[in-house]
Structures are given as structure tokens and as C-alpha cells.
Amino acid sequence: MNEITCKCGHVNPEGTELCLSCGRALSESAENRKTADVMRYEGMARRSQTYNLSIIDKIWNFFSSVKVGVWLIVITLIASSLGTIFPQALFIPNGTENVYYEERYGIAGKIYYVLGFHDLYSSWWYLLLIGAIGTSIIIASLDRVIPLYKALKHQRINRHESFMKRQRVFSSYSIESPEKSIAQIKERLLKKRYRIREEEGHLLAEKGRFARWGPYINHIGLIIFLIGGMLRFVPGMYVDENMWIREGETMAIPGTGQEYFLKSDGFTVETYQQGEDSEVFNNTIEREGAIAKNYQTDAHLFKREEGSIAGQQGELVEIQQGAIQVNQPFKFDQFALYQVDFRQDEYSSMSFNLTEKASEESVGSFTIQFDNPEKVYELDNGYSVELTEYYPDFSGFEDGEPQSVSPIPNNPAFLVRLFSPENPDGEVAFIGIQRNLEPLGENDYALEFAGVETRDVSGLTVRKDLTLWILGLGGAVFMIGVVQGAYWNHRRLWLKKTADGRLLAAGHTNKNWFGFRKDLEYAFETTGLDKPKDHQEENLNKKESADAKEENNRDSTS
């Protein structure tokens, strides 16, 4: 370690810019840079500014740079915006990614898809960016907070004149009794709740130092938040399942390991009605038509009791019942059920009559429950119908074979064999909605549509998220830190009585110089002295008055 010995005799660690004891500038660079830049971290030695030899030093230095941090933020910002040009894959119909973008948006859409922007926020490079920001937050904070803490903890009261002169707020007064003025200022500053420390007639007044910790606290909050975000990928922390449950149906809730079951009493949609709801809505209802008021599934929750023998399934016991509504999830254990979707009037069953074509007389009827279609429907007098094949969502024929696109009975169709005493081998028919084919020739009997039953289906999301409290904690810590850093200021005033009897006053604040100047005005009011000059303000005013003079000259000449 190359230690630096200051003129005042204090030994400072390598890399220190301002002497820890008296505040003299220790390097040429500290001498030449703007005071605000040196004062930011109190002129302390920072690891990133001191070592640059090993690979670890280089990585550390890279991530500790605010410049790098800002670039990471800006790149993430731009990348994020790219993802909103076209809808992300999760907002478009499932499985259509490869054609959707090109069909809709042409060549631009194709490029978007090929570059992977359709799934930007889970791409490896986006996650890498977030990771890099996280790393930068940790390293940049550590690089600064430790030296800053040390510097502020061991602040000396008596500072060298050169340190004071370099401050933005500084004045030197030649007065009879500096002690008296110092005492007056002290009294005033105490009223403003400054903390005062004195040493051999010198004074340091300080206020709001804890504001300096704000940035580091909010960074801790962000790190906690990011950790919470990563924990989602730990098995058991997070459940994201969907379920479609029909009126009257009881089914296991996915993601609960067959432990919980849900029974639906039915699904309700309500819309706003003129005359029924407040009259102030009439115009909007007229303009927009039906506006949804409520989506609701009434449900019972059951829990499977422990079986007395391992592997044996226990009884279902009802433990809760209630409504699942948008904005009012149904909570149990660590889970929550959300009303997210619905299908109204799904076919639940269809009834048919078996009719003799010639006489148009029915010889029997039966009902197919789509939940549980039977293999054979026995009718009286030797008639029966065999359900050879069931196509719940019939979409047409492919190579002569009927196709079904989903297991949902949107467009049910059946291949049946009709048995009658005349045709003991059965006649083949293909029936569906407004469809009756007889592929193997004219039949004697036909199925006649006799009625349909429908019911509503609720689309629910099953959610368990054990990371929420960590995210909440991260958010809370962030908010505390950011408020602490933004709404408070660290203000300091140094007063020094020089050997030749002058009074020196220097001030520094990390921000809000306007407020600081007001404090100074108040503090110096009783001394009869002008408040210490803000040199930045001063320079500007000089420039201003020069401008104004010039303007006046111009006015008078023209």
C-alpha cells in the first residue's frame, strides 16, 4: 500500500483525493476537477479508482462505473421499447407466431419475428441485461458506500483553508470578533435543527446526513426485488395454471397435487342496463352497447382428506364456498383462483330420436352427455345406437377422415351405427349439427335431432406465488431509500477562525442549493454579515448583468 502523507501530517490510504483530516487536495486531479465532482464521495479512496491490475479489478472497475450503469439502463430502455412495436407472442393466439407477424405486418413483422423480438422479454440477452444492471447496482454501491461511510463517520471539524476555498459556497470575513459571530450563527443553526460540533473554536454544522444513504438503500431494495424475481424459477414457489370448469362440474384444481377440488355452481355475466343502473351511464350504454358489469363463478372448494391407507383416496370435504369475481380472487391455502375467462352456452348434451325413414315414426330416443358419452345407447324393442366415434370440435374431412380440432364440444359430430331388427349388422351414419351423411349407402333409419342442452364454462387461473412477500419487501425498501435520498438533503457549514483572525465560512449541500441558501441567510441574519457567497450563482449573475448591459447599450443605440 502506498500511503499518502498530507502536509498536515495525516496518513491517508492510497487513492485518497482529499485529506481525511484537513481536507487538502492530495492529487493534482483533485486539485483541478470541479469541487462538486470531488466532494461527491468526500474525496475518499475508492477501490475502482485505485487498482486496475488483475482481471477482478478490471471487472470490478467496469461494473462500478456509473457511466456503464447509465449505458446499461439506456440499452435496457431502448430494448424494452422495441418489444412494444408489435404485440408480444403471449398476446397473440397460441402457436401462430410463425405466421402471425408476417401475415399482419409484412416484411417488418417477419424481421421482428426472425430477430426474436416477439418474445423479447424472456430472451437470453434481455435477461443478461437485467443481470448486468443487477451486478452494476451491487458493485457500484459497494465501491462507494463503504468509503463514504468512513469519510462521513470520521469527519474532522477543522479543515484547511484550501478545502474551504474550493467549496461552492465560501466567504472570508475580516471582523473584530469571529468568536462572537460563530456563537450567533451556531444559535441560529441549532434552531434549524443542525447538529453542531466544535473544536478549538472551529465549527461544523450538519443536517440530513442520512439522505446520503438513500441511494444505497434503494439499491438494496432493487437487489431484493431482483432476487425475488429469480426465486420464481425455484420449484414449488410459483404455480401458474388454467382451468376450465363447467356448471355443475367438480374437478381437481391443477397445481395443487390432487389435494383441492372445485365445484362450480355456475357462471354469471351481468351487463349494465338502462333504467336499472344509474341514469348517468345512459349515454355511454347507448353509444357502446352492452358493457359488462360482472363476471362471476360461484364455487365450492373441497379438500381431499388423508386416506387411512397410503395411496388410498380419501373423501372430499367442503371447506369453503363463495364467488370468484374479477378483482376478487378466491383465496385458499397459498393459492388464489381468478376469474379470467368464460364460454357461454357450451353444448352439454344432445338428444336424438331414432326414426324409421319410411313411416317417419320414432322408435326410441336417447341423450348423449358430452362429458361422458356412452359406447352404446340401448333402446326398446331391439333397437340400439352405437357411438363408433365422437368428434367434439368437428372441422371437416381430411382424406375422408373426420377431424376434430379440440376436445371442446363446439361443433360435436358422431360416427354412429344404427341397429334395428331389420338391420342386425347396423347402418352407418355420420351426424353433426345440420349434417347427416350416410357414407355406405341409403339407410332405413335416421337419427333426428331432438334437442340440446347448454351450460356456461368458467375460465379460471390458479395462482400460487410465494415470492410476493420478497418482492413487496424489495419494493418497500426501494421506496424508503428513494424517498430518503430525494426528500432530504445533506447540508454542511464549516466555520473556521484563522490564525490571523479572519472568519472563514464554507458550505456544501448534495442538492437543493436554493434551500441551503435560505438556511444560510437565516443563520447569518443576526451577525450583520452577508451570507457566504454561492460562487456558481455569483458567476452567473455577473454574466447576466454583462448581458443586460449589452442589451441596454443596444437599446440605446438603436
The contact set with other proteins (CB under 8 A) reads 34, 36-37, 40, 66-67, 69-70, 73-74, 76-77, 80-81, 83-84, 88, 90-91, 104-106, 121, 215, 240, 272, 277-281, 283-285, 287-288, 291-295, 325-327, 329, 336, 338, 340, 461, 463, 465, 468, 471, 475, 478-479, 482-483, 486-487, 511-514, 536-537, 540, 544, 551
Strand, coil or helix: 381:
coil
Distance in angstroms (rounded) separating the CA atoms of residues 185 and 27: 33
Nearer to other proteins among residue 171 and residue 489 (C-beta) = 489
- Read off the C-alpha cell for 544: 447576466
Nearer to other proteins among residue 260 and residue 488 (C-beta) = 488
Residues written for the chain: 558
φ and ψ at residue 263, rounded to 5 degrees: -120, 130
- Read off the C-alpha cell for 333: 391455502
Task: Considering only the C-alpha atoms of the chain, give the largest distance between any 2 of them, rounded to a whole number of Å.
Answer: 132
Nearer to other proteins among residue 317 and residue 548 (C-beta) = 548
| Amino acid letter, 450 | A
**Smallest separation (angstroms) from other proteins to the CB of 410:** 18
Nearer to other proteins among residue 338 and residue 419 (C-beta) = 338
Nearer to other proteins among residue 365 and residue 536 (C-beta) = 536
**Smallest separation (angstroms) from other proteins to the CB of 555:** 12
Which residues, in sequence order, are CB contacts of 19 under 8 Å at separation 6+? 6, 7, 8, 10, 12, 25, 26, 43, 160
**Smallest separation (angstroms) from other proteins to the CB of 455:** 21
| Amino acid letter, 2 | N
Which residues, in sequence order, are CB contacts of 121 under 8 Å at separation 6+? 80, 83, 88
Which residues, in sequence order, are CB contacts of 551 under 8 Å at separation 6+? none
Nearer to other proteins among residue 204 and residue 471 (C-beta) = 471
Cβ atoms of 71 and 140 within 8 Å: the answer is no
| Amino acid letter, 88 | Q
Nearer to other proteins among residue 445 and residue 513 (C-beta) = 513
How crowded is residue 9: how many other Cβ atoms within 10 Å of its Cβ?
9
**Smallest separation (angstroms) from other proteins to the CB of 195:** 23
